[in-house]
Amino acid sequence: NLQLLFFYSRIVIFGFFQRFITLDPHPGIFVHPLTGGVFATGKQNSTELDRESTANFTMNILVRDAENRIGTAVIHIHLLDINDYQPEFIGLPYYVTFCVGSSTSFNALNEQSIDRNIEADPTCKSLNNFKVTAIDKDKGINGTVVYSLTNIRPRAEPPLLSINSTSGHIYLLRSLPSDWTGRQIEAVVAAIDGGGLSSTAIVNIHLVAENGPQFSAILYSATVLESVPIGETVTSVEAVGINNDASLIYRIVSAKSMKQILMSSNDLFHDFKEKDPLTLEDCPFGLEFNTGETKH
């Protein structure tokens, strides 16, 4: 235990018995009833001494002698910061659309474009940049976060992407050829605080043609019951072509989380074991090619 301070109570008769009583005890702080020593217990968890939840607090101490005479004192305690929190990314997961044939120099971005994520406008009218954000609950330099790219797939020389270490903006360093349309770039971003703690996040970048069809959203999500019947619509995806009258065809190009095999039948992709009940472990879904409806 770490001793923080020591109470001294003046008694007229030397050696006279006295006892110290904490009127409003605080987790993590112990006042010795006989000596008046104030100690930090050393137990570090969120329910005791945590500057991020309670940086300052007050304790009232009462001292009583054998004749039942009392005195009071007040302790004001201020907790100093230690680097006990690592950066935490917000807004996960990160999915973004960049356009082939165009690039963005970060130095050319104006203030309005810097403050706007490409999520708000998932078309190629947006600049090829995306902002990640990580927060750190620590104070001062321990809460200061810098960003870096630790891995980019596919690898290329010179690198395809760069990141502003202060703002977290990721941007293309050069334009990509049109044959990159439909490919994906996976970037691993590290956020490091001033005390050396770090965390990482993955940014999935989908490359599209500048004048190609655009989905109405970057990421679609849906919740489905285990008892959902075969053929029930789960959600719908929607895209718009440069010509609004153009017919669009939808298809599933990957299904990383699916354990089943998707087969094609009657213009519907579905699980070949469709008579089996749907469970949390096996999630077979299909996509109607002409409507964009996702079905079980």
pLDDT digits over 18-27, tens only? 888 999 988 8
Query: Is residue 258 classed as helix, strand or coil in its secondary structure?
Result: coil
**How far is 1 from 111, CA to CA, in rounded Å?**
51
Give 138-176 pLDDT, tens digit per residue.
888 999 999 999 999 998 888 889 999 999 999 988 888
The stretches in the chain having pLDDT less than 70 are: 1-17, 42-47, 102-127, 242-246, 253-296
Q: Do domains 2-78 and 88-214 have the same CATH topology?
A: yes
Pairing of strands 94-99, 161-163: unpaired
> In this structure, what token pair is assigned to residue 131?
């902002």
Task: Work out the end-to-end distance of the chain between its first and last CA atoms, rounded to an integer number of angstroms.
Answer: 60
What CATH number does the domain located at 2-78 have? 2.60.40.60
Beta bridge partners of 191: 147, 199
Q: Report the chain's C-alpha Rg in angstroms.
A: 30
Residue ranges covered by each domain of the chain: 2-78, 88-214, 220-296
Residues, the chain: 296
Question: What pLDDT sits at residue 82?
Answer: 82
Contacts with 1 (C-beta within 8 Å, 6 or more apart), sequence order: 30, 39, 40, 41, 42
Report pLDDT for 110.
42
Q: What is the pLDDT at residue 179?
A: 83
According to the CATH classification, is domain 88-214 in 2.60.40.60? yes
What confidence score (pLDDT) does residue 267 get?
39
Can you give the pLDDT at residue 125?
A: 42
CA dist., res. 117 & res. 60, Å (int): 50
Q: Is the dihedral of CA 35, 38, 40, 41 positive or negative?
A: positive
Distance CA 22, CA 71 (A): 12
pTM: 0.59
Cα–Cα distances (Å) from 290 to 139, 206, 236, 237, in that order, read: 53, 22, 11, 11
